[in-house]
Every structure is written in C-alpha cells, then in structure tokens.
Amino acid sequence: MIQLTATPASALIDEPVHIRATGLPPFQVVILQASLADEKGNLFHSQAYYKANEAGEVDLQQAPSLGGDYIGVHPMGLFWSLKPEKFLMKLVKRDVMNSPFLVQIKLYDSNLELTDIATTAPKVSLTLERWYVAPGVKRIQVPDGNLRGALFLPSGEGRFPGIIDLFGGVGGLIEYRASLLASRGFATLALAYFNYEDLPAQPEKTELDYFEEAVNFLLRHPKVLGPGIGIVSISKGAEIGLSMAIHLKQVTATVLINGPNFILRIPQVYRGQISKPLALSPQSLSINALGLAEFQHSFEEARCEASETSLLPIEKAQGHFLFIVGEDDKNLNSKVYAEQATQQLRRYGKNNWTLLSYPGAGHLLEPPYSPMCCASKISSLHLFIHWGGEVTPHATAQEHSWKEIQKFLRKHLVPVVTSQL
C-alpha cells in the first residue's frame, strides 16, 4: 500500500519537514505536488518528479528531483518553489497568531498528463500545518504614544533580547518575521511607520524621533533584557535601521538586508536636523522584457556625483552590523552599497561588521522555505517591481542567512556570563 508521511506534520515555517513515500513499485517515477491557499484564497502550487528506489521508497532527504520546479536533492524544494496561480503575487501571512498555512502534499503517477492533475484524484495525500508563531508566544497590539505596531513576546519568564523589525516600501504592519523571531526567543516589535492606521499614507519625511521612541519603549518593557537592542531591517527599512544605529547608542546589533548606505527618496529628520536624500534618476529606471520595473541603477548617477558627506556616516555607529546581500537584487544595487559601507568602516579602522553576499539571491530575502517572489506590485508606484533572484540559490540564501541572523543577534545582545574561580 502506498503511504505518504511528513514529519513533523505541524511545525513553524522555518523548520524543515521530512517527506517520504513508501509502498511504490520499485523504480517507479511519481509526481509530488504541493499546494496552499493564502488567506484571500489565492492558490500556490509546486511539483517535482521523483523515482522510487529498489525498495519502492522516495525519501526527499536523499532522492533527487528529476524535473519539475527544481532539480536535485532539495528536501524542502516543494515549499520554496511554490508559485502563484495568479502571476506576480507574493505569499504573505497576515494573521500570524490564529491559523497556519495548510500545505497539501499529493502523489500522482508520472504518466498523468499535467493538464489532468487538477481533475484526477491523487494516489495518496496529506496536509501539513505551517505556523508563524510558536505555542506560548504573546502578541500585544502597540498603540503607545505615537507608536503603531505589534510586540511579540516569547513564552517563559524572560527577560529576552529585544528586536525592532522593519520592512520597506510596501508600508503597513508586517508581522510574520517578528512572530518567528519571538518564537526563537527574541522580544520583537514589528513596527509600522507609514500607511497604517493613523500614520501617513505617503510621508514627506522620515522622523527618526519616532524610531527612538520605539527603542525606548522596548527597553522599558520588563520582559526585555537590555541594555542594547537589535534591528532587523530590509530595503527602505534598512536605511532607517542604519540611521538608528548611527544616532542611537542603545542600538548594538543591526541586520541590514539589501539596503542602501544613503537616504532614499524623502528626507530624514532627527531632533530638528534634516538630512537630504539622494536624487533618483528616472532615466535610469529599466523596464525588462516582461514589463517589470528595475530600480537597481536609479541612484547610481547621484551616488557617483555625491561627496562622501551624502552617505550615511556609518563609522559613527557604536554597535555591530550584519550586511546581507542578494547579488541578483534588481531593486537596489545592494551589493555595491554594502561594500561601500564596509570600506567606509575599514577606512576608520572599524571591524564591527560581517558581510554575507549570496549569488543568485534577489531583493526579498525572507525566512527559510518561503517561496521566492520575483516580482509584485507596489500600489503607491503603480508598477510591477522586479525583485530579482533565481529560485534555488535564493532558497539557499534564505536558509543560511536566517541562521546567521539569529547567531549574530544572540552574540551581540545576550551577555556572556563567565564563571568566577
């Protein structure tokens, strides 16, 4: 009898799953398909061809995919290769607390025509739960003074290292990375800074005082360890994260994912001091053959003409940096910006940084096993943005960088207790 097993059947989305099929005829080729529906009913699918061994087993930890959405030995390939039925759609979990994504895994005979899969019953199937929050994690809605966001606290007595989580130009409140970090032992504030509740839809400036208020809010919380906090940030959020590290001595560990080393689009203001952005060069915007906008060279003219005083003075930061770069980023020239920032640190005799650069990875580096989004629409720009990335190396970068982010944060936020002899 054919059996399909997956262990664990219910887990956090950053945990690997061991998938096996048994009871097959020796050396039979089968199709394995994964599918899920997001919270709006949008469907995502992936599939791969596998050949059973002489014992009639397919073990995804050992067996290579012969074709389909990926090739080779990739135990979690069915998850990270999920693609939307509607073109150019990103998989996003909104309600992280109350429900998981349900992933169906189905097994079909390989002689089945692909056009017939939708109307054919699988030989065997199962459903997995993929959660964004661990049992016992608490979510606290944050209106506190001017602040808007959600604070996630790990289970247990605490105290826990504190993190502020910042996303980029899409705006709103995005919680799935913060809930996962809390599930891994970090008190994490998912912080909205525009296009959410009473915050401005399209701000004319970035007020760093708002982010300083967030730092102080986190450090006042009785469950937060202190004396320093960490930042995890991407894209426009990484510009802000870098500025926070420069101006706020309480920020001691900053993760910058595919961000700039200068100010993007709108001015920054801190305690009345205005810092101007670099100008975007509209003529440097590229539209590729699929009609997708690529912005990675849009600041190069201004950056080349600018003096070093136009770059953020990263050498003034007291904390440590982890730069994470996707070398196939089509939205920002992030590898060049990170290299320039680290050179600036080196010139000032600083060694407080680590640079992880991933060939084939795009702009939207997410927690591991998340499907790559190569392009999507940002409503404020009325454009489909090409984020870049090749599916398999992007997945590898997500898995490796997630582990490195957690190691970096623990190293610089959790004090080492040495025994007194």
Q: Which of 46, 179, 233, 235 is catalytic?
A: 235
What is the b/e burial string over 376-400, where b = at least 16 CB atoms within 10 angstroms of the residue's CB? Answer: beeeeeebbbbbbbbbbbbbbbbbe
Whether 35 contacts 125, CB under 8 Å: no
Task: For residues 71 and 75, give the distance between their C-alpha atoms in angstroms, rounded to a whole number.
Answer: 11
**235 part of the active site:** yes
Q: Which of 363, 386, 394, 412 is catalytic?
A: 363
DSSP 415: P
Task: For residues 313 and 296, give the distance between their C-alpha atoms in angstroms, rounded to a whole number.
Answer: 22
Q: Which of 329, 334, 376, 394 is catalytic?
A: 329
Q: What are phi and psi of 304, to 5 degrees?
A: -70, -35
**363 part of the active site:** yes
Output the six-digit token pair for 358: 């991933």
Task: For residues 88 and 376, give the distance between their C-alpha atoms in angstroms, rounded to a whole number.
Answer: 5
Task: For residues 415 and 225, give the distance between their C-alpha atoms in angstroms, rounded to a whole number.
Answer: 10
**183 part of the active site:** no
Whether 406 contacts 400, CB under 8 Å: no
Residues known to be catalytic? 235, 329, 363
